[in-house]
A = this chain, B = another copy of it.
C-alpha cells in the first residue's frame, strides 16, 4: 500500500485502517503517501489532461483500485471573482469558491465521495452518520449511488429541507432529540449490533482526505501561487485540516513554495470554542455549556480535532472570528445581491471577511478567498415531513422494529 497513517502529535506510523482517525496519544492520524511514487504520475503537466472531478488527484487519495471510486461529479468547483466588492472594500483581490455547486449542493460531497469509495474498497454495505445536515444528505447520495444502505441521525432542529433530501436519496433518516454528539452516540451504541460503518466526523480517514482536495484544487486554480488569506466556516474542522494538509503535501511534492495562506476560521456566536482558544491564547477546550447557536454545520461544541485546528490557525498566522446570527443573515442578503446563493455557513465567511477588513487584519494588498459551502435555499424554515424523532439507540431499535412490523 502506498499510503499509511502518521500521528500529527507523536509522529508514530501505523498501517492505514478504515475505522481509525485518532492515535492512542490523542493526536490525529493523517494519511501519508509515498510521495516519491506519487510524483512519478502526478505532475502539473499531466493534470491538464485529467478529468475535472476531485479524482484528478487520485494519487493523493487513499483508494488503491480506481474501480472502487464512487464519483457523482464532485470537485473542480468555480472560483468567482467579486469585482463589485473589490471596488468597495480595501482588498487587492477577492474570490468566492463555490462549493455549493457540488453534486449534493455542498462541499460535503467531497468527503463522502472519498469515504464511500474507501468503504466500497473494503466491501462495507451499511453506513451511518451523525450530522447537522449537509453531511447527512451527502452520505445518503453517495451510499445510494454505490448501492449501500445508509442510516442518518440529525438533531431535530436540523433544516427540514436537508432532512427531506436524505429521505429523497433513500437513507433511513432519524431526527435526534439532542445535539450532533448525541446523534453520534446512537451510532456508536448501535454500530456493533447493526454492522454500521460510522462515517461521522473524524471517525474514519476518508472525509478529511476528500476535503483535502479543496486545497489541492485551490492551489491548481491559482496556478500554484496561493492567495494570502483563506476564510472558512468551522464546525468539526475537517475542511480547515484538509486544506492545510493539502498544502503540506504540495510543498513536499515541490508544487508550491513559500508561506502558506493565513487560515481563518469563522464560527457563530453561541458555539465558538475555536475562537475562544485563539482569543485566550490557550489550549483548545470543548465548549461544554451555553451552546445556543443555530443548527448549522458550524455548531460543533467539541470538535474531535480542536487542538489541530487551533495549531493550524497559529502556524499560518491566521485567526478565528465569531459572527452573530444577525450578521450572517445580513451577509446572506449581501451575497444574494451580488448573485451568490449562500448558506448560513457560507455567508458567515462574508461576515467574517467584512469584520476582518474593519479590524484592519485583512489588508489592502491581500488576495482573499471565501469558501461558500452550501446553497441558501437548503435552509428555508421548512418542516421535515414525517421523519421520526428519537433520543437513544434503544429508541431507534423500537422505532425501526415498528417500521419493520
Interface size on A, residues (CB 8 A): 46
A129 to chain B, nearest CB (A): 15
Residue of B nearest to A140 (CB): B339
1/0 contact trace for A241-255 toward B, CB 8 Å?
000000000000000
Q: Is A117 an interface residue (CB 8 A)?
A: no
Q: Is A48 an interface residue (CB 8 A)?
A: yes
Q: Is A190 an interface residue (CB 8 A)?
A: no
Cβ-defined contact, B101 with A380, below 8 A: no
Residue of B nearest to A138 (CB): B339
Cβ-defined contact, B73 with A147, below 8 A: no
- Pick the contact of A378: B141, B146, B377 (CB < 8 A): B377
Cβ-defined contact, B52 with A49, below 8 A: no
1/0 contact trace for A150-176 toward B, CB 8 Å?
000000000001001100111000000
Q: Which residues of B contact A143 (CB under 8 A)?
A: 339
User: In the docked arrangement, what's the CA distance between A72 and B382, Å?
Assistant: 28
Q: List 17 A-B contacts (CB under 8 A).
A: A48-B49, A52-B76, A72-B78, A72-B340, A80-B103, A84-B145, A101-B102, A101-B103, A103-B339, A141-B339, A144-B337, A145-B340, A168-B336, A168-B341, A169-B341, A377-B378, A380-B380
Cβ-defined contact, B101 with A141, below 8 A: no
Residue of B nearest to A143 (CB): B339
Q: Which residues of B contact A48 (CB under 8 A)?
A: 48-49
Given contacts A73-B80, A73-B101, A161-B377, 4 further A-B contacts (CB under 8 A): A48-B49, A53-B78, A72-B339, A101-B103
Q: Is A142 an interface residue (CB 8 A)?
A: yes
Cβ-defined contact, B104 with A341, below 8 A: yes
Q: Is A376 an interface residue (CB 8 A)?
A: yes
Q: Given A76-B52, A101-B101, verify A376-B168 contact (CB < 8 Å).
A: yes
